[in-house]
Structure 1
Amino acid sequence: MRIAFVALLCVALAACGRPQGVMEPIGVSVPNASLVDLLVATTRAPAKNPAILFTGERESKVALADITVSIPPADRRQIGQVQWPSSLPPNPLTDFATVRVTPLAGVGEARGWLKQNLPRDRRVLVFVHGFNVRFEEAVFSLAQIVHDSGAEAAPVLFTWPSRGNLFQYIYDRESTNASRDALEETLRRIATDPSVGEVTVMAHSMGSWLVMESLRQMSIRDGRVLPKIRNVILASPDLDIDVFAAQWAEISKPRPRLTVFSSRDDAALRASRRLAGDVDRLGLIDPLAEPFRSELERAGVDVIDLTDLSRPGSLNHSKFAENPEIVQLLGKRLIAGQSLGGETSLGERVGGFAMGVGQTVGGVAGVAVSAPLAIVDPNSRRTFDDQLKHLGDVANDTVDSARPN
């Protein structure tokens, strides 16, 4: 607990060193920079300072805005990182920067934004952030995820009132409770928009509680989750495993496809588990261990274990956005509504960005090194196990044949 708290405190202190006021638009960017246009819906109270835009305090009504973020040229940044300015105004050649902020008057203008920004397949990505996140952090984080993943989706940020303070965990948690109706209504408006084809909802950390509660409410209210909401992704969910089971059971079938990113070395979730009476958090489980494996298969939930993708000195709480392969997997497969199972090969499903199934001893080692993901896929678990066994048999046979007689 002490180690987790010290790590969290270090991150909080680092965040405090960032300049305030990055939401002040710079108006123009630089050649070769990328522009990401976001629709923002928030239950945060507006700030008196327009360079901050929204605070961590609560507001009963949802405010809407169109925000454009500039991301430095590819040769000036590393995939998976938000590059914060060290001073203001930011330098768009090296820093993330706000180019434009346009308040939207209501639902009509928001629908106009959607119609203008929808890709060819008319998919929308709704992102909900987690604990200890200021408004500007939520905006820049989604811009980074959208850019680095290459996701073909109109990006919508739902940002709830987090004070961005390590010592305000309970306040933040209650803010998610206060925002359930607003998120439900936001999802409803998007999913009933005739111009929208499909909706993917992605949540990080404490935002997972908010997403699951809003979907549960929608299912109780309407008898189902609206059919355009086809795909839900929970990254490092700070969610009591028993509460999650109850929420999922109360969502009527047919349910959206649900994918969970877990990591057993997540320091932030370890601290949360201690605060919550040592009850397992969904984002900390080992998906291949019982009883989780069987229960997840019965529930029809895909779980991707990112434990082996740890970075020294990291909280290991945002791997889904910081690891280049994972954030690109999000864009190429999960945000696009595709399962990691089905007809794809083991090399493709278990992180497979390079290795195939048919390779022998070196290839088997390569799969373990290049793709350290354990995936619980209820739609193709038997095939997955069979392929693993086959890989092991091939490796053993090759080793035996190489031994001197």
Structure 2
Amino acid sequence: MLRRILLAALSVLAGCGHPTGVMTPVALTANTPKTSQVEMLVATTRQPSANPATLFNGERSPKPYLTDIAISIPPKRAAGTVQWPEKLPPNPATDFAVTRVEQLETRAEGRAWFQQHLVDGHALVFIHGFNNTYEDSVFRLAQIVHDSGMKATPVLFTWPSRAKLTAYEYDKESTNYSRTALEQALRILAQDPSVKDITILAHSMGTWLAMESLRQMGIRDGHVNPKIRDVILASPDIDIQVFAKQFGEMGTPRPKFTIFVSQDDRALAVSSFITGKVSRLGAIDPSKEPYRSRLEAAGITAIDLTKVNTGDKLNHGKFAESPEIVQLIGQRLMTGQPLTDSNITLGEGVAAVVGGTVQTVGKVAGTAVAAPLTIVGQPLPAAAKPVEVEDTLRADPQSKPLTQ
């Protein structure tokens, strides 16, 4: 009963949604105002819907599919937002609109697409979270790419989500279903000699999928492919103890990890309740022990977005909906620039959004959060006292209830 109450509360907070069936391409005419174009390669383990307006549904496919998609973004809009159409077909002058959809039948066609669209040798792989349709993830990545100003080729990996608040367990199992497909996609990208480096950006439940795929790669090869240099986990919906195991079992060397956390994340509060009141990684306070020293020991950067205000009533999508934060992703994190006191050059806007002065931001981002927990078998600095994962997490505070 309590679970139903919590899900009902989330449903009210989430709002009424938006029109569906926006994947049918629309033509840009001579009268269309100048728009921005985002082109992406979409890999999915979803089942084809046999409907060009949706392309893929939330069920699981026995084989992955590749699709070339182009999205038009209107000229007058607020950064951090997706302009869903009020009616169909979309109006490119005011709405996000799909302008091209082309199914790629072979892996060779996928490689050819990537060769034609490669930007400076950089690739971004985005993995969406819980309760997302195919079109949700396409438009969200288009918004992130456009608003961040990143110089990279966008690749979307979209897994089978039924896009229902009551389908949490189904969605979680769908991430497990998709982890080998994501691992293979990352391997194919890394094998391309023209690809210099890969950044993974994963959100919410998609962070579980990202960690599981990297863990599998690490177990097979002894380490993650060195071209996968940066992993950004936004609002990670992962049990903290499990994250410690995943992190340790990747082997070494590992990619550079950055996590975005927020203690007022209502979606993660519900996830914590559903999963046995175990705190989620995305809801920790990285300035508190045991997290501060453990994160620092593992070299994981954490950026606390608790003070960031966006239009998201769940406080779960701040990484993409704050103009300053999404630019931080594209302009600094994807280029491998660490956020430390000595070299941080964030503008006043980012400093104010995160909360405090630039020095405070650098201190929190660069050192306050580094290694989520003590990883079994991983040596700690000489000054650190060895503590087993289980002992470390006994001090783990429970997630805040939804009402807080």
- Distance in 2 between residues matched to 1:303 and 1:335, nearest whole Å: 15
| Residue of structure 2 in register with 1:33 after alignment | 35
Do 2:294 and 2:369's aligned partners in 1 also have CA atoms closer than 8 Å? no
SS of the residue aligned with 1:289? coil
| Residue of structure 2 in register with 1:353 after alignment | 347
- Distance in 2 between residues matched to 1:138 and 1:42, nearest whole Å: 11
Q: How many Å apart are 1:12 and its aligned residue?
A: 4.8
Look at both structures and tell me which one has the larger radius of gyration over its CA atoms. Answer: 1
* CA RMSD of superposed structures (Å): 2.4
Q: Deviations over 1:259-292 (max 9, x none)?
A: 0000000000000011111111000000010001
| Residue of structure 1 in register with 2:52 after alignment | 50
Q: How many Å apart are 1:369 and its aligned residue?
A: 6.9
Q: How many Å apart are 1:11 and its aligned residue?
A: 5.0
Do 1:342 and 1:379's aligned partners in 2 also have CA atoms closer than 8 Å? no
TM-score, length basis structure 2: 0.85
- Distance in 1 between residues matched to 2:170 and 2:359, nearest whole Å: 38
Do 1:47 and 1:53's aligned partners in 2 also have CA atoms closer than 8 Å? yes
- Distance in 2 between residues matched to 1:229 and 1:312, nearest whole Å: 32
Q: How many Å apart are 1:380 and its aligned residue?
A: 11
Do 1:38 and 1:156's aligned partners in 2 also have CA atoms closer than 8 Å? yes
- What amino acid is the match of 1:286? D
| Residue of structure 1 in register with 2:356 after alignment | 368
Q: How does 1:312-331 map to 2 (within 5 A)?
A: 314-331=313-330
For the pair 1:229 / 2:261, whether they are aligned, the reply is: no
| Residue of structure 1 in register with 2:384 after alignment | none
- Distance in 2 between residues matched to 1:106 and 1:126, nearest whole Å: 19
- Distance in 1 between residues matched to 2:14 and 2:237, nearest whole Å: 18
Q: 1:312 to 1:146 in 2, by over 3 A?
A: closer
- Distance in 1 between residues matched to 2:339 and 2:250, nearest whole Å: 22
- What amino acid is the match of 1:319? K
- What amino acid is the match of 1:377? G
Q: How does 1:200-349 map to 2 (within 5 A)?
A: 200-311=199-310, 314-341=313-340, 343-345=342-344, 348=345
| Residue of structure 1 in register with 2:11 after alignment | 9
Q: 1:28 to 1:7 in 2, by over 3 A?
A: farther
- Distance in 2 between residues matched to 1:369 and 1:324, nearest whole Å: 18
Q: 1:72 to 1:206 in 2, by over 3 A?
A: same
The unaligned stretches of length 5 or more in structure 2 are 371-404
Q: 1:312 to 1:117 in 2, by over 3 A?
A: closer
Q: How many Å apart are 1:10 and its aligned residue?
A: 2.4
Q: How many Å apart are 1:5 and its aligned residue?
A: 3.5
SS of the residue aligned with 1:341? coil
- What amino acid is the match of 2:108? G
For the pair 1:377 / 2:379, whether they are aligned, the reply is: no
Q: How does 1:148-167 map to 2 (within 5 A)?
A: 148-167=147-166
| Residue of structure 1 in register with 2:377 after alignment | none
TM-score, length basis structure 1: 0.85
Q: How does 1:63-102 map to 2 (within 5 A)?
A: 63-73=65-75, 76-102=76-102
SS of the residue aligned with 2:165? coil
Q: How many Å apart are 1:116 and its aligned residue?
A: 1.0
SS of the residue aligned with 1:247? helix
- What amino acid is the match of 1:98? V
- Distance in 2 between residues matched to 1:147 and 1:303, nearest whole Å: 24
Do 1:66 and 1:102's aligned partners in 2 also have CA atoms closer than 8 Å? yes
Q: How many Å apart are 1:211 and its aligned residue?
A: 0.2
Q: Deviations over 1:92-137 (max 9, x none)?
A: 11100100001011211111111111112x1000000000000000
- Distance in 1 between residues matched to 2:191 and 2:117, nearest whole Å: 17
Do 2:286 and 2:369's aligned partners in 1 also have CA atoms closer than 8 Å? no
Q: 1:257 to 1:313 in 2, by over 3 A?
A: closer
- Distance in 2 between residues matched to 1:376 and 1:249, nearest whole Å: 22
Q: 1:28 to 1:371 in 2, by over 3 A?
A: farther
- Distance in 2 between residues matched to 1:4 and 1:309, nearest whole Å: 24
Do 1:264 and 1:284's aligned partners in 2 also have CA atoms closer than 8 Å? yes
Q: 1:355 to 1:170 in 2, by over 3 A?
A: closer
Q: How does 1:137-148 map to 2 (within 5 A)?
A: 137-148=136-147
- What amino acid is the match of 1:127? F
- Distance in 2 between residues matched to 1:316 and 1:267, nearest whole Å: 6
- Distance in 2 between residues matched to 1:342 and 1:194, nearest whole Å: 35
- What amino acid is the match of 1:188? R
For the pair 1:114 / 2:114, whether they are aligned, the reply is: yes
Do 1:215 and 1:225's aligned partners in 2 also have CA atoms closer than 8 Å? yes
Q: 1:11 to 1:84 in 2, by over 3 A?
A: farther
Q: How many Å apart are 1:377 and its aligned residue?
A: 2.1
- Distance in 1 between residues matched to 2:300 and 2:180, nearest whole Å: 25
Q: Deviations over 1:157-204 (max 9, x none)?
A: 000000111100000000000001000000000011111110000100
| Residue of structure 1 in register with 2:191 after alignment | 192
- Distance in 1 between residues matched to 2:280 and 2:247, nearest whole Å: 15
SS of the residue aligned with 1:335? helix
The unaligned stretches of length 5 or more in structure 1 are 357-362, 382-405
